[in-house]
Amino acid sequence: MNSSKLTYLLICAVAASLAATGCKKKPTPITPLPGARAGVPGGERPSELPEGGRLGPGEPVSTGGGALAGLEEFEGMLADRAALAAHTVHFDFDSAVVKRSELPHVEAVAAALKADPNVKLLIEGHCDERGTEEYNRALGERRALALREALVKRGITPVRIRTISYGEDRPVDPGHNEEAWAKNRRGEFILLRPK
Amino acid sequence: MKRFLNQPLVARAPRPVARHRGCAGLVALGLWLAVARAPGQSDVVDIVREIVPGATRPIPVSISGFTGEALEVIQFDLFVQGFSFTAPDTAQFLLSGSNDGSLTGRATDRINKSLLVNKSYTGATLRRQAHAFVEDFIRALGRTPIDPSKKIAFKLDTGANSEIYVADFDGHGAQAVTRDNTIVAAPAWVPGRLALYYTSYRLGNPDIFFHDLSSGQRRVFARYPGLNTSAAPSPDGRRVAMILSKGGSPDVYVADADGGNLVQLTQTPADESSPCWSPDGRWVCFATKVNERRVLAKVPASGGPLQIITTRGISNPSEPDWSPDGKWIVFTAQMGGFEICVVPAGGGTATVLVSGEDPCWAANSRTVIFARRQSGRRVLSLLDVPTKQVKDASRFSGSSSQPSWAR
């Protein structure tokens, strides 16, 4: 009795699975996400970069005079965030224009670069949260590029300057008011020293 | 023939021979349904094909017999595809069934009594079975349903950093696909593949990565000086549009999927952002500034002059996404807050739908996933464009944004 019941269940299961796969299309089979560990909540194994393999840039293309310096020029340098921290430049809402009132900061940074030909500069562009995310990522880059241009006008060679945009992802003030937003719309100067 | 209608489709047959007969019966039933549906079809189609963005009435349905998680899934899926819930006597369609163990579902047209769906579902999870029932029902109406096997990818803030997660379209079953411990953003699915492009700061710069989720392998796709972001693979997956600033300003570029053959599509002093493709692959559409005014524009994917896509009635458009059927562009307008809007793909008067940002079409060209702000963070939400019905996806502990819906 027991074994015939078991056989019956087995046959039912076979019939059901055949009906499900062979004849009827629904339900759609789940596509398991590879790397997932069954039963571990949120347990997707992080896919790591291939070990040892060097990450090459895409193919270079020729660009105009405003092109940026290669990232390799800045490899291995030590970031000194404190040196120019007092010279953070702030921007108006949705603007990448360096205001006249901010120019003394630009002058100070230009002087620091002129004083030591071995140092280079990283300019971080940041935004407040009032903008869509990828728009802000582009706006942050524009702010950093505007500061780079202001420094170039003051005699700094562009190959010493690198830009990076964090969009709205790195606020100094996490608040959601005008006071916080004004602080977050900024360009920060990080001095890069040789090792 | 008729007795099959009263039986669940997955043969819970008393005899083993039912294996073959059950299958033949299913085919026969399918044919019968196809014939039986024909008379009532025109009534149904007239209503469901009327899609005026934001001005279409939801279709009333009545649901009975389902409970718990299955009921939640069925209601969610119906709501975000333009249905509302009502009593049986005022419903256009009656959905009934049970989910004791596996799910059985019936859908009938209340007016002409035609049977649209009568199925049992087996295997996978109860959620998947519930998704499949709604999918079958909507397909029986002659519409393209949301394909529940298509995942969403999104950015999830994890404290100061963010990572890319993937989940079912309703936000269920979210899993991290990056652990970069930095900012990772702007995910975009490769059409028809379990693979993503996204921006990661892992190497100290915003670079675009290609990540094959089937193998877990990933590689750097674009790492030029400056900004590399907003990757958007073409509908055939062979090209990628993106924003690069290496030329001195954020501009739109396209490259082959292997990173070669890079072409600069825009050369403006303004900053372009958020490129997307027309479904025929001929155009790349994006946000830019012309005469100090923010606009949507497009350029031929092979290069050519920039054309403005007019969006009358709104200001500050950004984040366009072209519907897979080619008819609409959904985008974000910033007018004080953020609004999800649609405009005909050729340009014209824009329709403001709901508050939110960063919209992305589902393959059905009807449902949109977007992010809306709520007490200082972002929440993923789904919008049925014709009816403007909105429902949040599953909540996550951090701010979730930048959804991309696999097509």
CB A130 within 8 Å of CB A180 = no
- pLDDT confidence band for B329 (50 / 70 / 90): very high
CB B304 within 8 Å of CB B315 = no
Q: Is the dihedral of CA B206, B211, B216, B220 positive or negative?
A: negative
The pLDDT, as a whole number, for residue B32 is 39
List the single residue in A44, A68, A170 with the smallest CB-CB distance to B245.
Answer: A68
Q: Does A38 touch chain B (CB under 8 A)?
A: no
The pLDDT, as a whole number, for residue B22 is 39
User: Bigger pLDDT: A45 or A103?
Assistant: A103
Q: Is the Cβ pair B23, A170 closer than 8 Å?
A: no
Q: Does B139 touch chain A (CB under 8 A)?
A: no
Identify the burial level of B353 via C-beta atoms within 10 angstroms of its C-beta, where 0-12 means exposed, 13-18 middle and 19 or more buried.
buried
| pLDDT tens per residue across span B266-305 | 998 888 999 999 999 999 999 999 998 999 999 999 999 9
Going along chain A from its start, the domains and CATH numbers come out as 80-193 (3.30.1330.60)
Q: Which residues of A touch B254 (CB under 8 A)?
A: none
Q: What phi and psi values does residue B3 have, to the nearest 5 degrees?
A: -65, -25
Domain with CATH 3.40.50 in chain B: 2-140
Identify the CATH assignment for B152-405 out of 2.120.10.30, 3.40.50.620, 3.40.50.920, 2.120.10.90.
2.120.10.30
Residue of B nearest to A130 (CA): B337
Q: Which residues of B touch A145 (CB under 8 A)?
A: 226, 245, 248-249
| pLDDT tens per residue across span B48-92 | 444 678 888 999 999 999 999 999 999 999 999 999 999 999 999
Beta strands B93-98; B104-109: pairing state: antiparallel
Percent of chain A surpassing pLDDT 70: 66
**Inter-axis angle of helices B68-79 and B126-140, to 10 degrees?**
40
Q: Is the Cβ pair B175, A42 closer than 8 Å?
A: yes
Identify the burial level of A116 via C-beta atoms within 10 angstroms of its C-beta, where 0-12 means exposed, 13-18 middle and 19 or more buried.
exposed
Q: What is the pTM assigned to this prediction?
A: 0.81
Tell whether the model's pLDDT for residue B163 goes beyond 50: yes
In three-state secondary structure terms, B127 is helix
Q: How many CA atoms lie within 13 A of B78 on its CB side?
A: 26
User: Bigger pLDDT: A55 or A184?
Assistant: A184
Q: Is the Cβ pair B262, A61 closer than 8 Å?
A: yes
Q: What phi and psi values does residue B303 have, to the nearest 5 degrees?
A: 100, 150
Q: Within the 43-102 window of chain A, which residues sit less than 8 Å (CB to CB) from chain B?
A: 43-50, 55-59, 61, 63-71, 96
Q: Which residue has the tokens 């696999």?
A: B406
Q: Looking at residues B377-385, what average pLDDT do you find?
A: 96
Q: Which residues of B touch A50 (CB under 8 A)?
A: 217, 219
Q: Which residues of A touch B376 (CB under 8 A)?
A: 176
Q: Is the Cβ pair A26, B338 closer than 8 Å?
A: no
Q: What is the number of helices (H) and of strands (E) in chain A?
A: 4, 5
Q: Does B126 touch chain A (CB under 8 A)?
A: no
- End-to-end CA distance of chain A, in Å? 82
Q: Which residues of B touch A19 (CB under 8 A)?
A: 9-11, 19, 22-23, 26, 122
For an interface test with B, the pick among A137, A149, A176 (most B C-beta atoms closer than 10 Å) comes out as A137
Domain with CATH 2.120.10.30 in chain B: 152-405
Q: Which residue has the tokens 């100090």?
A: B292
> A175 to each of A125, A129, B261, B271, B376, how far by Cα in Å?
19, 10, 44, 27, 8
Q: Within the 4-23 window of chain A, which residues sit less than 8 Å (CB to CB) from chain B?
A: 11-12, 14-20, 22-23
Question: Is the N-terminal amide bond of B14 cis, ω within 30° of 0?
Answer: no
| pLDDT tens per residue across span A171-193 | 999 999 999 999 999 999 999 99
The pLDDT, as a whole number, for residue A50 is 29
Q: Looking at residues A35-55, what average pLDDT do you find?
A: 27
Under 8 Å CB pairs connecting chains A and B tally to 243
- pLDDT confidence band for A8 (50 / 70 / 90): low
| pLDDT tens per residue across span B90-114 | 999 999 999 998 999 999 999 999 9
List the single residue in A30, A134, A176 with the smallest CB-CB distance to B124.
Answer: A30
Write down the CATH number for the domain with range B2-140: 3.40.50
For residue B371, list its beta bridge partners.
Answer: B357, B380
| pLDDT tens per residue across span A16-28 | 444 444 343 444 3
List the single residue in A15, A26, A130 with the smallest CB-CB distance to B18.
Answer: A15
CA gap B226, A158 in Å, rounded: 13
Structure tokens at B373: 């702000």
Q: Is the Cβ pair B222, A138 closer than 8 Å?
A: no
Q: Does B308 touch chain A (CB under 8 A)?
A: no
| SS3 annotation, A66-117 | CCCCCHHHHCCCEEECCCCHHHCEECCCCCCCCCHHHHHHHHHHHHHHHHCC
| pLDDT tens per residue across span B237-261 | 999 999 999 999 999 999 999 999 9
Provide the mean pLDDT of chain A.
Answer: 75
| pLDDT tens per residue across span B169-198 | 999 999 999 999 999 999 999 999 999 999
CA gap B378, B157 in Å, rounded: 9
Q: Minimal CA–CA distance to B162: which of A140, A135, A167?
A: A167
Return the number of other C-beta atoms located less than 10 Å from residue B281's C-beta. Answer: 15
CA gap B30, A26 in Å, rounded: 13
CB A168 within 8 Å of CB A131 = yes
List the single residue in B147, B213, B217 with the smallest CB-CB distance to A33.
Answer: B213
